[in-house]
């Protein structure tokens, strides 16, 4: 059990973080893609939820996407953990050293593209439209 946990938990944590951080940062009512698994409306009587990204309105009240982000990130983390368990142990050892460099570089390229609008006002950073 200890060997399984030492191989699965890092993959779960990386998968969870890789999904949760952009989901939290880039989901909004005007978002062109849906990151939360569901939207929860605590102000509605009785409390109401719907699948996907749903903007709030006067009848449902303000939306709460946090629970949907956590559920989605948990699913992605579990998928990453299962993949890590299916791969040989030697492959996962090399995978962490590779991810240690590739994930920050990919995040830098993404954020550079996202922030270029400050230097070039006509820049369109939307990759997902």
CB of 69 closer than 8 Å to CB of 40 = no
Average pLDDT, stretch 43-62? 81
Give the C-alpha separation, 97 to 94, whole Å.
5
Q: Is the pTM of this model over 0.95?
A: no
**Bridge partners, residue 49, by sequence:** 40
* pLDDT confidence band for 28 (50 / 70 / 90): low
* pLDDT confidence band for 49 (50 / 70 / 90): confident
* Residues 72-111: tens digit of each pLDDT: 999 999 999 999 889 888 777 777 777 778 878 888 887 8
Give the C-alpha separation, 38 to 127, whole Å.
23
For residue 49, give the H/E element and its range. Answer: strand 48-51
Give the C-alpha separation, 104 to 127, whole Å.
19
SS3 call for 99: helix
Handedness of CA 104, 110, 113, 119 (dihedral sign): negative
* Model pLDDT, residue 11: 85
* Model pLDDT, residue 103: 78
CB of 53 closer than 8 Å to CB of 34 = yes
Burial classification of residue 85, based on how many CB atoms lie within 10 Å of its CB (0-12 exposed, 13-18 middle, 19 or more buried): middle
pLDDT over 70 at 1, yes or no: no
């Amino acid at each position: 059990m200890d060997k399984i946990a030492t191989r699965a938990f890092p993959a779960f944590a990386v998968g969870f973080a890789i999904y949760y951080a952009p989901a939290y940062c880039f989901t909004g009512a005007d978002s062109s893609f849906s990151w939360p698994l569901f939207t929860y409306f605590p102000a509605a009587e009785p409390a109401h939820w719907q699948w996907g990204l749903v903007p709030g309105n006067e009848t449902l009240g303000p939306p709460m996407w946090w629970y949907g982000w956590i559920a989605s990130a948990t699913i992605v983390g579990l998928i990453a953990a299962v993949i890590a368990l299916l791969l040989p142990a030697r492959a996962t050892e090399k995978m962490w050293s590779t991810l240690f460099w590739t994930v920050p570089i990919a995040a830098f390229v993404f954020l550079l593209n996202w922030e270029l609008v400050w230097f070039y006002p006509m820049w369109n950073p939307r990759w997902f439209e």
